[in-house]
Amino acid sequence: MCQTPLKPTTAARAMKKVLSTLAISCLMATPIDVATGAETGAFPYIFPEKKPNRPLSEAMNRLYSNYPAPTPEANELYSSFRFSPLEGFDYHDGDGTISRRDPSKIIRANGKYYVWYTRRHTPTPPRGPDMASETIPSYDWDLAEIWYATSEDGFVWHEQGVAVPRASKPVPGWRSVSTPDILVWKGKYYLYYQAYVQMPGLRGDDCAVSAAVADSPDGPWRPTERIIVPNGAPGEWDQYSIHDPYPLVYRGKIYLYYKASFNDKSPRVIAQGLAIADDPLGPFVKHPLNPVLNSGHETTLFPFREGIAALVIRNGLEHNTIQFAPDGVNFHIVAVSSFMPVAAGPYVPDAFMNTRDGRGITWGLCHITGIGGREKNHSILARFDCDLSQDVHNRWMKETDMFWGPEVYFSRTLNPAARAERARACREELKQPE
Ligand code: AAL
């Protein structure tokens, strides 16, 4: 008689796993110093989830002391990122006359997702400050308007048209309006944006922030026609630029994060500050500890647990990090990531809920710039996905072992002069005795 082997039940399999783990731990039981109670001997093979009571190297100590959890898989504020092209945007065959960039955070309203962004449609691509004119843009965000689009799945977008056009001279924003972000407050919608009264690049990328108000995300938008977040006084870090305004509702107030570029070019320093207001149209009071982030070009923040989390993406010693401030002000690094979305505008469901238990983010839009080389220079919007959420657990988003193809590496090759110089240095070195 032939017997079918019994299939182990799930419970039996789980029990087997527990027993084998126990066996391994017993076999590898860590010796304890009876006097101090501290573990001695080699670091255990089974990775301790909690900080072990034993002497630790600085690196291992950091793992347990500086991060919310000691492994990427368990760290809710670690994520890798995936990118997808969007459907629905026309770029005029990529000739550089149409550009879309710097998406706002995404909100949900009227059964759809909404995003606002910088849209430039000019007779030529940007030609730099020396060649720019009334119609020729200096930079990609010069002579631009704020447009918006809606989507039902975050991949296919329907462009709806202009939200805030350029103002008429001399109203702030007459030269360009760019880099918008959205606030919903007491039933009204507020768009904040960079309002240029001179061409970007004339001295530097100088501007302050203006705002427009609407009763619906579809507008009509009523521009305030004035500066809402002003530049700092002469000599202050943000005297020339208030970029990337990014409002959240936190602790009952409007916390508007922004970025400024300072120290001229010796070297240029980029950092982020915070301005707080009780009313969306101000006054915004700049935080006395500004800058509150020492790195990071565009602003990407969201409520997380009791505090605020930030993606610190490019520029500065702490680029490619994810940071957390339990009070919205004092940020520390909670994860190091790579290949992060540039100018990320995440979907932040609880951005305006004044929550003390922020749930996090899983997707958003970002931009890819410098497409088309000098001749056709423009930017496109793209989608990113991640797992920086308390509610989602995607193991494949927690990977840290990533590989890129040669096209990625060699897209950052040396320019011919640098290559020649490096080659010469090698040849020279070989002439020296070994
Ligand atoms: C960005 C943003 C701001 C800058 C420029 C356009 O991506 O930081 O908007 O002014 O570059």
Cα angle 241, 178, 215 (rounded to 5 degrees) comes to 115
Tell how far the Cα of 102 is from the centroid of ligand 1, in angstroms: 7
Residue 6: pLDDT band with limits 50, 70, 90: very low
Question: Is residue 69 included in any domain, yes or no?
Answer: no
Provide the number of structural domains found in the chain: 2
The alpha carbon of residue 397 and the mean position of all alpha carbons in its chain are separated, in whole angstroms, by: 16
Question: Is residue 204 included in any domain, yes or no?
Answer: yes
Residue 102 Cβ contacting ligand 1 at under 6 Å: yes
**Strand pairing partners for 259?**
243, 272
- Per-residue model confidence as pLDDT tens digits over 243-279: 999 999 999 999 999 999 999 988 999 999 999 999 9
Residue 396: pLDDT band with limits 50, 70, 90: very high
Residue 15: pLDDT band with limits 50, 70, 90: low
Question: Is residue 418 included in any domain, yes or no?
Answer: no
With a cut of 50, say whether residue 64 has pLDDT above it: yes
The overall average pLDDT reported for the chain is: 94
Shared-domain flag, residues 19 and 152: no
Backbone angles phi, psi at 95, to 5 degrees: -85, 0
Q: What is the pLDDT of residue 268?
A: 95
Q: Which domain holds residue 32?
A: 1-42
Residue 140 Cβ contacting ligand 1 at under 6 Å: no
Residue 30: pLDDT band with limits 50, 70, 90: confident
Mean pLDDT value of segment 204-219: 98
With a cut of 90, say whether residue 319 has pLDDT above it: yes
Domain final residue, candidates 10, 27, 42: 42
With a cut of 90, say whether residue 311 has pLDDT above it: yes
Shared-domain flag, residues 231 and 351: yes
Residue 242 Cβ contacting ligand 1 at under 6 Å: no
Distance of alpha carbon 122 from alpha carbon 100, whole angstroms: 12
Shared-domain flag, residues 197 and 256: yes
Distances (CA, A) of 307 to 106, 304, 351: 20, 5, 12
Mean pLDDT value of segment 427-432: 98
CB count within 10 Å of CB 9 equals 9
Question: Is residue 72 included in any domain, yes or no?
Answer: no
With a cut of 90, say whether residue 31 has pLDDT above it: no
Question: Is residue 419 included in any domain, yes or no?
Answer: no
Q: What is the pLDDT of residue 22?
A: 46
Residue with CA at minimum distance from ligand 1 atom 10: 243
Shared-domain flag, residues 214 and 293: yes
Shared-domain flag, residues 20 and 166: no
Mean pLDDT value of segment 114-120: 99
Distance of alpha carbon 138 from alpha carbon 129, whole angstroms: 5
Shared-domain flag, residues 135 and 188: yes
Best probe residue, ligand 1, of 101, 119, 179, 295 (max atoms within 8 Å of C-beta): 179
Shared-domain flag, residues 164 and 23: no
| Residue 142 and residue 132 in contact, taking contact as beta carbons nearer than 8 Å | yes
Shared-domain flag, residues 29 and 173: no
With a cut of 90, say whether residue 47 has pLDDT above it: yes
With a cut of 90, say whether residue 327 has pLDDT above it: yes
pTM of the model: 0.92
Question: Is residue 352 included in any domain, yes or no?
Answer: yes
Residue carrying the six token digits 């006084």: 233
What CATH number has the domain bearing residue 310? 2.115.10.20
Shared-domain flag, residues 8 and 88: no
Residue 298 Cβ contacting ligand 1 at under 6 Å: yes
Residue 244 Cβ contacting ligand 1 at under 6 Å: yes
Residue 295 Cβ contacting ligand 1 at under 6 Å: no
Checking DSSP bridges between strand 243-250 and strand 188-196, what pairing results, if any?
Answer: unpaired
Residue 2: pLDDT band with limits 50, 70, 90: very low
Distance of alpha carbon 193 from alpha carbon 102, whole angstroms: 10
Residue 141 Cβ contacting ligand 1 at under 6 Å: yes
Best probe residue, ligand 1, of 297, 299, 381 (max atoms within 8 Å of C-beta): 297
In 3D space, the residue among 271, 380, 251, 428 whose CA is nearest the CA of residue 326 turns out to be 251
Residue 178 Cβ contacting ligand 1 at under 6 Å: yes
- Per-residue model confidence as pLDDT tens digits over 66-89: 999 999 999 999 999 999 999 999
With a cut of 80, say whether residue 24 has pLDDT above it: no
**Strand pairing partners for 323?**
310, 333
User: Dihedral angle at the C-alpha atoms of 287, 291, 296, 300, nearest 10 degrees?
Assistant: -10
Closest atom, ligand 1, to C-alpha of 200: 10
Shared-domain flag, residues 353 and 259: yes
Residue 25: pLDDT band with limits 50, 70, 90: very low
Question: Is residue 275 included in any domain, yes or no?
Answer: yes
Closest atom, ligand 1, to C-alpha of 367: 7
Residue 243 Cβ contacting ligand 1 at under 6 Å: yes
Residue 297 Cβ contacting ligand 1 at under 6 Å: yes
Question: Is residue 420 included in any domain, yes or no?
Answer: no
Residue 246 Cβ contacting ligand 1 at under 6 Å: no
Q: Which one has a higher pLDDT value, 332 or 34? A: 332
Residue 206 Cβ contacting ligand 1 at under 6 Å: no
CB count within 10 Å of CB 413 equals 9
Minimum mean pLDDT range among 23-27, 40-44, 160-164, 301-305: 23-27
Shared-domain flag, residues 313 and 384: yes
Best probe residue, ligand 1, of 241, 244, 378 (max atoms within 8 Å of C-beta): 244
Q: What is the pLDDT of residue 239?
A: 98
Q: What is the pLDDT of residue 265?
A: 84
Q: What is the pLDDT of residue 12?
A: 56
Shared-domain flag, residues 287 and 180: yes
- Per-residue model confidence as pLDDT tens digits over 93-107: 999 999 999 999 999
Check whether the bond before 291 is cis (ω within 30° of 0): yes
